[in-house]
Chain A
Amino acid sequence: EADIYQTPRYLVIGTGKKITLECSQTMGHDKMYWYQQDPGMELHLIHYSYGVNSTEKGDLSSESTVSRIRTEHFPLTLESARPSHTSQYLCASSGRGRYEQYFGPGTRLTVT
């Protein structure tokens, strides 16, 4: 069983606020990912990292930014939240030489 954590689980915030979604894993995985998922829809990769100080944009354009200063931590930041950012954000990780991805419980973000 994977140990990957996301906080907060639910967030309701007003337009224009800066937010940071936290993601941590305790498995020492080198690769980490952020996905965005609208209700009833498929997941889209928005950011990924192959290790410390490595970050890349994914297949879906996103106004969010990420950082990877520590192996276990991969936070996502929105500088100015908008209603169009309302969605579920899922963090995942996978180990060196492995393909299986393990997901956190997700953060449901609502921007009013």
Chain B
Amino acid sequence: GIQVEQSPPDLILQEGANSTLRCNFSDSVNNLQWFHQNPWGQLINLFYIPSGTKQNGRLSATTVATERYSLLYISSSQTTDSGVYFCAVERGETSGSRLTFGEGTQLTVNP
């Protein structure tokens, strides 16, 4: 199956700092999503971004499909950004939204 690697595994920031999270994947994809899991376990869909760039407030994401990676940018981080960020992908020839998740990046933002 497709392999998904996220880096760094852990990240500690001071409030106000910027960060970049990376997701590498081993095969072509037709579906890539970024999720945030808050400390209570709830997953929130941040972006659906199989290619290109999107922005939503302080968050933005870029996927370079030909080079098989995606980046999630967090600017001016806040304590509420803490949690685990997951990248999830689906291989190019399937169309059922069967996602394979990476192991996540644990982000801690200190006040």
- Residues of A at under 8 Å CB distance from B? 2, 31, 33, 40-45, 48, 50, 58-59, 88, 90, 92, 94, 99-103, 105-106, 108
Contacts and interface: CB of A to CB of B under 8 A. Distances in A.
Interface stretch (B11-19, B51-59, B61-69, B92-100): B92-100
A92 B43 CA distance: 10
Contacts of A99: 30-31, 33, 48, 50, 90, 97
Contact of A103 (B42, B100, B102, B104): B42
A42 B86 contact: yes
Interface of B: 1, 30-31, 33, 35, 40-45, 48, 50, 86, 88, 90, 96-104, 106
Given A41-B103, A42-B86, A100-B48, A90 B98 contact: no
A94 B97 contact: yes
A31 B88 CA distance: 17
B86 A108 contact: no
Nearest to A100: B48
Given A42-B101, A94-B97, 16 more contacts: A31-B96, A31-B97, A33-B97, A41-B103, A42-B86, A43-B88, A43-B101, A45-B99, A88-B41, A99-B48, A99-B90, A100-B48, A101-B33, A101-B88, A103-B42, A108-B41
